[in-house]
């Protein structure tokens, strides 16, 4: 039996509330991040991911007090990202109760940051988030919440991330984000087949079948989604039962 596939609700946090957009813009409120997290924990989600979506852009730090409140309320692992630029930020997030940190813009600007996190805290703490878009000249990485393109291709950067000691890659397809037409399964399968570390798929979940496909066609180790969970379109327990019925190994 293969390792169980993970279902990870993602909570994008802005000014203390959960928000959700389409293609990284047009944000609308989805509720209190601590209450939502507790609900997902109770419903059987495997992990949670909290992203302070404007922290890098505005130069702010992720709200430590929210992390502390989440850690108090839930009993599953959770990852925190957004504005994590230095070892001190990682230390603070872990001290507040987070299990892992997600780095994106800071790692692309200074790749050694990945080595530093892995060396000090262990690879399991470092999730490297990659926001990439399929442009006319292929898959390219973006920083600052998808605002700025950098001259690194998706596969090239993902390989370096793994070599430097990241424990997992959280790949978000900007083309698929929020449009609910399915995950970027071709790109995901390429990453999963080329890399020795787990791949978390993000961007595109719209129905239960999309989760089935991301595990079978995309070879992903975990699937992350937001609005389909936040707005009650796909309850986590129903999704897991459906996946189990499709012969996909999930924890129930």
131 tagged catalytic: yes
Distance (Å, whole) CA 110 – CA 82 = 15
State phi, psi for 92 to the nearest 5 degrees.
-65, -40
- Among 12, 52, 177, 221, the one annotated catalytic: 12
- Among 46, 52, 131, 213, the one annotated catalytic: 131
Q: Helix, strand, coil: what percent of the chain each, to 5?
A: 40, 30, 35
Pair 37, 48: CB distance under 8 Å: yes
Q: How many beta carbons lie within 10 A of that of residue 150, not counting itself? A: 15
The residue to which tokens 């399929």 are assigned: 134
213 tagged catalytic: no
- Catalytic residue numbers read 12, 131
């Amino acid at each position: 039996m293969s390792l169980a596939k993970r279902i990870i609700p993602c909570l994008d946090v802005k000014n203390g509330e959960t928000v959700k957009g389409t293609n990284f813009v047009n944000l609308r409120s989805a509720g209190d991040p601590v209450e939502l997290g507790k609900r997902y924990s109770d419903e059987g989600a495997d992990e949670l991911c909290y992203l302070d979506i404007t922290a890098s852009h505005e130069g702010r730090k992720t709200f430590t007090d929210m992390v502390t409140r989440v850690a108090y309320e839930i009993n599953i692992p959770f990852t925190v990202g957004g504005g994590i630029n230095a070892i001190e930020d990682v230390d603070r997030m872990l001290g507040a109760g987070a299990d892992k940190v997600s780095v994106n813009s800071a790692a692309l600007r200074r790749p050694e940051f990945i080595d530093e996190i892995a060396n000090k805290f262990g690879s399991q703490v470092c999730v490297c988030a990659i926001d990439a878009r399929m442009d006319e000249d292929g898959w390219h990485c973006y920083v600052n919440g998808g605002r700025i393109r950098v001259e690194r291709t998706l596969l090239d950067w993902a390989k370096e991330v793994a070599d430097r000691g990241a424990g997992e890659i959280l790949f978000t397809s900007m083309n698929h984000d929020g449009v609910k037409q399915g995950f970027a399964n071709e790109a995901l399968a390429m990453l999963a087949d080329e890399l020795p570390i787990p791949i978390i798929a993000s961007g595109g979940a719209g129905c239960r079948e999309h989760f089935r496909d991301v595990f079978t066609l995309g070879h992903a180790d975990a699937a992350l989604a937001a609005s389909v969970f936040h707005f009650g379109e796909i309850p986590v327990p129903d999704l897991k039962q459906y996946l189990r019925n499709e012969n996909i190994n999930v924890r129930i």
